[in-house]
Structure 1
Amino acid sequence: MSDLRPLTNEEHAAVLEYALAHGADWKDELNTDWMNARTTGILQALRNSHGPSWLADYSLADWPRSLFSAETTLAHTPSPRLAALACRKLILAYVDNPEQVRWEDVQDALAVAIEAFGLPVNFIEMARAVAPD
């Protein structure tokens, strides 16, 4: 498994979307779909590049964990301008009202940060779905 290239954000997102749609037995179902040529696009390309043995070792937590690993290089070149804009939005939200920062301001800053790092628009919902309680 170590000689396989890391998954891209799009590949992780495709696997997560499949898993959320197919429930607890998603790996068995994906493997069956792979063997019967019932997948297309990213999932089929992933089967061709990584194969069924990779799937057995894959964890849905691999993606969020990899985003915070010092060894991981981002597949997307971050936009320093957008990252700085997200920080400014959070700082201004706090400066405007340190007693009660508006949730809308936090969400706005988060959306800019997600764009800055090339993450899927629904990254927060996807991460929440696999996060431990």
Structure 2
Amino acid sequence: MTSLKKQSKRLLSDIQKSANQLALLTSDLTLLEDTHEWARSLEKNIETLNQQLAGLKKAEFNATLADSEILEILDELIDSDPISALEQRLFAAQADQESGVVGEFFQQLLDKIEKLYTPLLSAIQQLTAMQDKL
């Protein structure tokens, strides 16, 4: 069985990777600005948490992670439900267009973002749930 420290490090890495991909996908796109800011906030918080945990032995690592305010911030970021807000913005923008091509583009874009968001959400939920085990 993998130690909690190894599981946590893997989840942090998964979150960082997904947040990076989401930030890259949504950068410099006005309609996706809120999603981009959400991903950047996630990146910064994970980076800070990784810095706090760097070089710590297992017991100290687990205690630091369990007491980290960043886990609460991650919970709040997930609770903000950025994908639902994005869906509403995209479909409102589509309503202003007559072309079905625009709607198809928005749906494809939303599908790509959801593919990045789903494992990201899962990893964050697993990481914050580990707080009780630490």
TM beyond 0.5: no
Larger relative contact order, structure 1 or 2 (CA cutoff 8 Å, min sep 6): 2
Q: Quick check: which one's helix share is greater? A: 2
Q: TM-score range by the shorter chain?
A: under 0.3
Structure index of larger Rg: 1
TM-score after normalising by structure 1? 0.26
